[in-house]
């Protein structure tokens, strides 16, 4: 054991970097006290390590994480859970928002928090009145018809659930230069904040109608609902510079859109869904079913999208977090040419809808994780 303790630090770091499972990194620290003191308290997190499925608390303040590789569920006590809603995940942290408007990053394993500017500090908020229950926010609503737009009053719950879609991170929030980017509003605007900022700043008015955003190779990409791809240089002065990478794709009409970064470049995935409407207790309930996926890869030389019929050996994970691609060669437990995705049938649990989990029939080529709850996300923790 004394010989183990004399292992060079450079070699010890290489061993840790080669481990893919988080709990293997923890076990590494248990070999001897010198390793535990030399290695960082929190294991280094890989952005593209396999995600765990975050299952929000159903009773009390506990959360659970499903490790799809080892088929295990890990329960975590989170007194901070309360009424928080998850808005994304990256680098071992989850982005959570509260009805009060507070937004923060939470590490579910250490329970460390990093505050971000609240929802009341977004560019679309004209006034925030905490004392006016049901009318807390006066928000500017973009309108292509009523240019340039209009102000509307909204309650805090509506703003929390529907006017803040997701938040992504450029790097680990423990670094000094990390940037958080939010996709918000009815029509997909973008805002960003850096460490120490007191408010969110609008990126550019060219960005409305964004469907997804992702950091890829250090750059921020935004995908519009028509397939147009934009790249943004947040560090440019005096304001971010937005440039078109690929024009709109004529075959893109409706459905959920995802941007995915892979070793071969960027991919655009369209999720084709069918929506049913039913009435329960005089309320209209909408349920959705995934029909298929359309996959496109970015041709950087011609600056356009081209459709592909196969992912080859790649495996995609699509969800609220930044979607990712892995190789089935590295993780044989996952089937090649498959997409794992969270359920979008938000109302499946309501009695009387008659709808099961979201499902897809695509010749057996695509499978999915049965989820169903809108707060369940693939969390990169």
Identify whether 356 is part of a domain: yes
Return the pLDDT at 45: 55
Return the pLDDT at 252: 72
Return the pLDDT at 205: 67
First to last CA, the chain: 31
Q: What is the DSSP letter of 249?
A: -
For residues 196 and 275, state if they share a domain.
Answer: no
For residues 229 and 326, state if they share a domain.
Answer: no
Q: What is the DSSP letter of 162?
A: H
Q: Which residues contact 358 (CB under 8 A, 6 or more apart)?
A: 288, 289, 290, 343, 344, 345, 348, 368, 370, 371, 372
Identify whether 215 is part of a domain: yes
For residues 243 and 278, state if they share a domain.
Answer: no
Confirm if 72 and 57 have CB atoms less than 8 A apart. Answer: no
Long-range contacts of 175-180 (CB under 8 A, 24+ apart): 179/220, 179/234, 180/95, 180/105, 180/116
Confirm if 92 and 380 have CB atoms less than 8 A apart. Answer: yes
For residues 266 and 191, state if they share a domain.
Answer: no
Q: d(Cα 6, Cα 26) in Å, to the nearest integer?
A: 19
The last residue of a domain, from among 215, 248, 281:
248
Residue-range definition of the domain harbouring residue 203: 80-248
For residues 243 and 294, state if they share a domain.
Answer: no
Return the pLDDT at 250: 78
Low-confidence ranges of the chain (pLDDT < 70): 1-2, 20-23, 41-49, 56-61, 79-83, 143-149, 205-208, 253-254, 279-281, 286, 343-381
Residue entry with tokens 């009390």 = 60
For residues 109 and 203, state if they share a domain.
Answer: yes
For residues 202 and 111, state if they share a domain.
Answer: yes
The last residue of a domain, from among 197, 231, 248:
248
For residues 220 and 289, state if they share a domain.
Answer: no
Return the pLDDT at 375: 36
For residues 235 and 259, state if they share a domain.
Answer: no
The last residue of a domain, from among 225, 248, 271:
248
pTM: 0.80
Q: What is the DSSP letter of 142?
A: -
For residues 308 and 293, state if they share a domain.
Answer: yes
Number of separate domains in the chain:
2
How many whole angstroms from its chain centre is CA 97? Answer: 13
């Amino acid at each position: 054991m004394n010989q183990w303790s004399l292992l060079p630090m450079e070699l010890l770091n290489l061993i840790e970097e080669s481990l893919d499972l988080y709990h293997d990194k923890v076990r590494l620290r248990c070999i001897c006290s010198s390793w535990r003191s030399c290695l960082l308290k929190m294991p280094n997190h890989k952005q593209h390590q396999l995600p765990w499925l975050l299952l929000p608390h159903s009773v009390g303040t506990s959360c659970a994480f499903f490790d799809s590789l080892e088929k295990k569920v890990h329960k975590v006590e989170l007194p901070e859970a309360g009424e928080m809603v998850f808005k994304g995940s990256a680098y071992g942290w989850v982005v959570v928002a509260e009805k009060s408007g507070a937004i923060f990053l939470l590490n579910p394993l250490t329970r460390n928090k990093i505050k971000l500017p609240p929802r009341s500090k977004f560019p679309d908020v004209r006034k925030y009145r905490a004392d006016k229950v049901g009318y807390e926010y006066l928000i500017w609503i973009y309108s292509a018809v009523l240019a340039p737009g209009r102000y509307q009053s909204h309650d805090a719950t509506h703003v929390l659930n529907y006017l803040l879609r997701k938040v992504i991170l450029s790097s680990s929030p423990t670094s000094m230069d990390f940037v958080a980017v939010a996709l918000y509003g009815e029509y997909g605007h973008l805002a960003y904040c850096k460490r120490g900022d007191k408010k969110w700043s609008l990126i550019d008015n060219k960005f409305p109608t964004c469907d997804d955003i992702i950091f890829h190779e250090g750059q921020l990409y935004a995908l519009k609902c028509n397939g147009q791809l934009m790249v943004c240089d947040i560090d440019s002065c005096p304001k971010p510079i937005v440039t078109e990478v690929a024009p709109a794709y004529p075959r893109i009409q409706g459905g959920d859109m995802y941007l995915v970064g892979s070793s071969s470049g960027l991919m655009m995935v369209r999720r084709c869904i069918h929506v049913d409407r039913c009435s329960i207790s005089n309320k209209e309930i909408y349920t959705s079913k995934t029909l298929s996926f359309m996959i496109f890869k970015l041709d950087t030389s011609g600056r356009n999208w081209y459709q592909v019929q196969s992912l080859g050996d790649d495996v995609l994970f699509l969800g609220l977090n930044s979607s990712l691609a892995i190789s089935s060669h590295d993780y044989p437990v996952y089937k090649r040419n498959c997409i794992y995705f969270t359920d979008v049938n938000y109302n499946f649990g309501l009695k009387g809808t008659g709808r099961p989990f979201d499902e897809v029939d695509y010749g057996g080529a695509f499978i999915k994780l049965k989820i169903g709850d809108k707060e369940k996300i693939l969390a990169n923790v």
